Amino acid sequence: MAENDSTENISRPTKIGRAQIGVNVIAQVLLVLGLAAMVNYLGLQHYKRWDFSRDQKYALSDKTKRFLDSIKGKVRLTVFFSNTPITADVQNLLTEYQYAAKKKIDIENIDPERNLSRAKELFDKYKVVTDESLIVVDYQGRNKTVKASEMAEIDQSGMALGEGPRVAAFKGEQALTGAMMDLVEGKKNTLGYVLGHKEPPLGEQSPISVLKTFIENENIKFQELNLYELGEIPADVKTIVVAGPQYDFSDREMKLLRDFWEKQGRILLLLDPAAKTPKLNGFVNELGVKVNDDRLMVFLRTGIQELALTRDVQANFLSDSPITKRLAGARALFFGGTSSLTLQPDRVRAANVRIEPLVQAEKGYFAERDYNSTDQAKLQADAAKAGGPPLTVAASIEKGGTSDERVQVNSARMIVASNATFIQDNALTQDQQALDFISASVNWLLSREQLIGIAPKVPKTLTFSLTEDSLRNVRWVMLVLIPLVPAVIGAAVWWQRRA
């Protein structure tokens, strides 16, 4: 009997009172609310954004992100945008700026049509005298306006047919980042552009107008320099560009160039292999970079037994230099003639000169010394004998300073490239690696390493035209073929069931 009692006591379930159940429910609800609040707090403080769209229309470029990281103060953006074709694009872009700037950007949106008093107050403050939609960028008391017309290319060709304006290209990031650079840096950096040896001009119809506009958007201005007429290079010019001279420099000009270099000057030297410039080549050779009298070529297979010779050089950017490491893996096409460079760092190391390769031709290219020959058999034989390390087409030279990127020490800097045509408008491609390379080179020469990066691309609207025959085919597909397919499938299913 005692045994049965003990068994009964063990198996009897424990009763839970209503009060205890209520407490458990309240505790669970509070726990869930606490977890939800914690997740929301962490998400608000440490959230991430990703752009998975195909063209990544609003994703900021590497260069813009690096520039925003370098800003010390706070930027205020006052947005005066009403209903325009790019209003939504601008708002999405500003959201990306706020996220990337990490609380360094404050944004105030004002609709001039609804908030007249606030709009008038700020118009008076910033001296705005236009009715066009715009953004006022303010940094430490300095301000600049970015108009809607500067942020997009609008196609209005369809308005005669009753269609609205269409955004052909959105350039909001270029315009905003350029305005911020102007305000943060203050005075523009001066880039001396050497003329007098048949270099490409800078005026209207310039063959390097795309490059010039691209560089000027980074708070840089070009100043024409004729060394033959100068007693010395102006003090405000810290960097000079020599782009494809067709004639050699005189002894007097070479003395100015050497004096500039010895005073820790910065030089971007783009050489045309077809031009005879022994004094310029000799100056570079003194610094450990020999410009060879050859041309880079490659044979490409165009058929089963057909080979074609090309002198356009497909080249790779190297990752070891701060100038090109963000372009590493990308390829650029150097049109026209390109010669090879022989780097001799050991010869100049005692003079505290450091040399680094920046751009090398892809595997398969060979340096032909008899480059005027038309004998295909000889050229193929020379190509078969070629080998060894990749051929260098651009290199950096630095005298003084330090190899540690974290330590800023004054030094003389130079970049040499054995091709001068890849920067011209007719050679630049949509991929713009050439523009990014020149921009990185100029920023390195100006000691603006924080601005070295991939620049923003201009997203363009994809358009295509259809002929009358193509339109007729599209109509047949839309009106007949597409409805016919489900009808045939339905008929087949009906027939199968009936059978």
What's the CA gap between 297 and 365, in Å, rounded? Answer: 5
Q: Which helix (H) or strand (E) holds 5?
A: helix 2-11
- Read off the pLDDT of residues 475-493 as tens digits, 9 standing for 90 and up: 777 777 788 888 888 888 8
Residue 494, C-beta contacts closer than 8 angstroms, at least 6 positions apart: none
State the pLDDT confidence band at 11, using cuts at 50, 70 and 90: low
- Give percent above pLDDT 90 in the chain: 43
pLDDT-based confidence at residue 1 (cuts at 50, 70, 90): very low
- SS3 call for 215: helix
* Count of CB atoms situated within 10 Å of the CB of 389: 7
> How does pLDDT run across 192-216, given as a tens digit for each residue?
999 999 999 998 888 999 899 889 9
- Give the C-alpha distances (Å, rounded to integers) separating 386 from 231, 297, 411, 428: 47, 11, 37, 30
CA–CA distance, 356 with 101 (Å, rounded to integer)? 33
User: Could you give phi then psi for residue 147, rounded to 5 degrees?
Assistant: -85, 155
pLDDT tens for each residue of 359-375: 999 998 999 999 998 88
Alpha-carbon span 409 to 401, nearest angstrom? 5
The answer, yes or no, to whether residue 154 has pLDDT greater than 70, is yes
pLDDT tier for residue 165 given thresholds of 50, 70 and 90:
confident
pLDDT at residue 21 tops 60: yes
Which amino acid appears at position 373 of this protein?
S
Most confident of 38-42, 337-341, 398-402: 337-341
Neighbouring CB atoms inside 10 A of 296's CB total: 27
What was the pLDDT predicted at 160? 65
State the CB neighbour count (10 A cutoff) for residue 116.
11
Query: And the tokens for 254?
Result: 């070479």
Among 80-94, 101-115, 182-196, 478-492, whose mean pLDDT is lowest? 478-492
- Least reliable range by pLDDT among 16-30, 52-66, 171-185: 52-66
Give, in order, the Cα–Cα distances in Å from 66 to each of 69, 448, 493. 5, 11, 61
**Mean predicted confidence (pLDDT) in 112-117:** 83
Element containing residue 223 per DSSP (H, E): strand 220-225
Strand spans (E) along 104-216? 105-110, 134-139, 142-147, 152-155, 166-170, 189-194
DSSP letter at 249?
P
Q: What angle do CA 209, 214, 218 make, to 5 degrees?
A: 140
pLDDT reported for residue 431: 60
Instruction: Report the C-alpha gap between 173 and 185 in whole angstroms.
Output: 18
Q: How buried is 275 (Cβ within 10 angstroms: 0-12 exposed, 13-18 middle, 19+ buried)?
A: middle
Distance CA(25)–CA(258), nearest Å, equals 84
Helix (H) or strand (E) holding 224: strand 220-225
Q: Give the confidence band of 9 by pLDDT, cuts at 50, 70, 90.
A: low
224-269 per-position pLDDT tens digit: 999 988 888 999 998 999 999 999 999 999 999 999 999 989 999 9
pLDDT band for 171, please (50, 70, 90 cuts). Answer: confident
Average predicted confidence (pLDDT) for the chain: 85
What is the predicted pLDDT for the residue at 462? 47
Looking at residue 45, its pLDDT comes to 63
Say yes or no to pLDDT of 328 above 50. yes
Mean pLDDT of the region 128-149: 90
- Which phi-psi region, left, alpha or beta, contains residue 399 (left: φ > 0; alpha: ψ -120 to 50)? beta
Cα(182)–Cα(340) distance, integer angstroms? 38
Asked if pLDDT for residue 465 goes beyond 80, the answer is no
The residue behind tokens 């390195």 is 444
- What pLDDT was estimated at residue 408? 53
Please give the structure tokens belonging to residue 251: 């002894």
List, in order, residues 6 or more apart from 263 with CB less than 8 Å away. 412
